[in-house]
């Protein structure tokens, strides 16, 4: 068992994450969308499991995160929660379930909490979602913010390039980060922004800042599971470190299985009744 899980076997809460930031211990976060993977990741000692709306891409094969529904997120999140003993489980509010008004945002968050057993929700945006953040928090639901490259706005951005490189957008991002902290978010994700900007936000905020493509001077890191395991091959941004090449490994295993069947090698005597 890795040092982190062995040394701190207690359940991870939002308070534990705050303590980790305070004592400068890095936070490890990874996505998961199903029971079997979540079980492995939790046992390995992951601090936070994000049931990301990236499920829309990696599980359902959509081009963007826009199409995934609240019911689909609830399906993925409840499977993940059933597997978890230690990690904090956060679930993305999908596109179209919180931008309309604060009541819609609250009822979407309540459905996630009641129907999945997750520990909090994440939503994208800054000042424009601050009222919804406060309303969701008033029901006792922890909220994680998400700034920078916010994939639900891909049709507005038009491209997945690094965000906040220009002064005006960088200034707005810093402003939004403070607004989210004041509204009560317990943490924020910064996606694909310059490392110096992420470092500044991390220094200025008291709450934990988790980066993806935001450099190392943040309080923690998050990646998409299928990207870091090398299951997805077509997606290779600079920030992605691949820890395995599962596409190749799985392909090899499946080819061997097909060959064994065709060559009458499977099943053998010992594999029958």
Rounded to the nearest angstrom, the gap between the alpha carbon of residue 238 and the centroid of all alpha carbons in its chain is: 18
Q: d(Cα 161, Cα 194) in Å, to the nearest integer?
A: 11
The strand pairing partners of 187, in sequence order, are 144
- Is residue 224 at the binding interface for ligand KIV, with CB under 6 A as the rule? yes
Annotate each residue in 110-129 with x if it binds ligand KIV (CB under 6 A) or - if it does not, as one string: --------------------
Q: Which is nearer to ligand KIV, 50 or 228 (CB)?
A: 50
- Closest-CA residue to 174 (of 209, 144, 140): 209
Q: Which is nearer to ligand KIV, 223 or 254 (CB)?
A: 223
Smallest gap from Cβ 20 to ligand KIV, in A, equals: 18
Annotate each residue in 14-33 with x if it binds ligand KIV (CB under 6 A) or - if it does not, as one string: -----------------x--
Q: Which residues, 46 to 65, sit near ligand KIV by CB under 6 A?
A: 50, 52-54
Residue from 79, 141, 222, 229 touching ligand KIV (CB under 6 A): that is 222
Smallest gap from Cβ 169 to ligand KIV, in A, equals: 19
Q: Which is nearer to ligand KIV, 79 or 189 (CB)?
A: 189
Q: d(Cα 155, Cα 141) in Å, to the nearest integer?
A: 29
Q: Which is nearer to ligand KIV, 53 or 181 (CB)?
A: 53
Q: Residues 215, 195: contact at Cβ < 8 Å? A: yes
Smallest gap from Cβ 223 to ligand KIV, in A, equals: 7
Cα angle for residues 76, 81, 87 (degrees, 5° grid): 120
Smallest gap from Cβ 42 to ligand KIV, in A, equals: 17
Residue nearest to ligand KIV (CB): 52
Provide the token pair at 118.
Answer: 């997750």
The DSSP H or E segment spanning 21 is helix 14-22
* Helices 102-116 and 70-83, axial angle in degrees (round to 10): 40
Q: Residues 76, 38: contact at Cβ < 8 Å? A: no
Q: Which residues, 154 to 183, sit near ligand KIV by CB under 6 A?
A: none
Those residues whose C-beta lies under 8 Å from the C-beta of residue 182, and which sit 6 or more positions away, are 130
Annotate each residue in 187-206 with x if it binds ligand KIV (CB under 6 A) or - if it does not, as one string: --x-x---------------
Smallest gap from Cβ 267 to ligand KIV, in A, equals: 40
The strand pairing partners of 121, in sequence order, are 91, 143
What's the chain's Rg over C-alpha atoms?
Answer: 20
- Is residue 207 at the binding interface for ligand KIV, with CB under 6 A as the rule? no
Q: Which residues, 92 to 111, sit near ligand KIV by CB under 6 A?
A: 92
Smallest gap from Cβ 192 to ligand KIV, in A, equals: 9
Catalytic (active-site) positions = 191
Q: d(Cα 213, Cα 197) in Å, to the nearest integer?
A: 12
Through-space distance between the first and last CA atoms of the chain, rounded to whole angstroms:
37
Residue ranges in contact with ligand KIV by CB under 6 A: 31, 50, 52-54, 92, 189, 191, 212, 222, 224
């Amino acid at each position: 068992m890795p040092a982190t899980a062995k040394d701190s076997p207690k359940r991870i809460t939002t308070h534990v994450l705050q303590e980790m930031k305070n004592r400068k211990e890095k936070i490890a976060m990874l996505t998961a969308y199903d029971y079997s993977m979540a079980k492995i990741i939790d046992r390995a000692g992951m601090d936070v499991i994000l049931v990301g709306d990236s499920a829309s891409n990696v599980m359902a094969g959509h081009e963007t995160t826009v199409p995934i529904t609240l019911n689909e997120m609830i399906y993925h999140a409840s499977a993940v929660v059933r597997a978890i003993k230690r990690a904090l489980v956060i679930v993305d509010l999908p596109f179209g379930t919180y931008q309309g008004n604060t009541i819609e945002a609250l009822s979407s968050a309540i459905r996630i909490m009641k129907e999945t057993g997750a520990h909090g929700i994440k939503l994208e945006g800054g000042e424009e979602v601050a009222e919804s953040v406060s309303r969701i928090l008033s029901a006792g639901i922890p909220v994680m913010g998400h700034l920078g490259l916010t994939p639900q706005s891909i049709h507005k951005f038009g491209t997945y390039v690094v965000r906040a490189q220009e002064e005006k957008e960088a200034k707005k991002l810093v402003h939004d980060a403070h607004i989210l902290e004041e509204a009560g978010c317990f943490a924020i994700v910064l996606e694909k922004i310059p490392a110096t900007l992420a470092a500044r936000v991390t220094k200025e905020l008291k709450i934990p800042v988790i980066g993806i493509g935001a450099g190392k001077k943040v309080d923690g890191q998050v990646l998409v599971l299928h990207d870091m395991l090398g299951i997805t091959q077509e997606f290779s941004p600079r920030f992605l470190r691949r820890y395995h090449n599962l596409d190749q490994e799985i392909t090899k295993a499946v080819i061997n299985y097909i060959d064994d069947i065709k060559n009458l090698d499977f099943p053998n005597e010992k594999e029958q009744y």
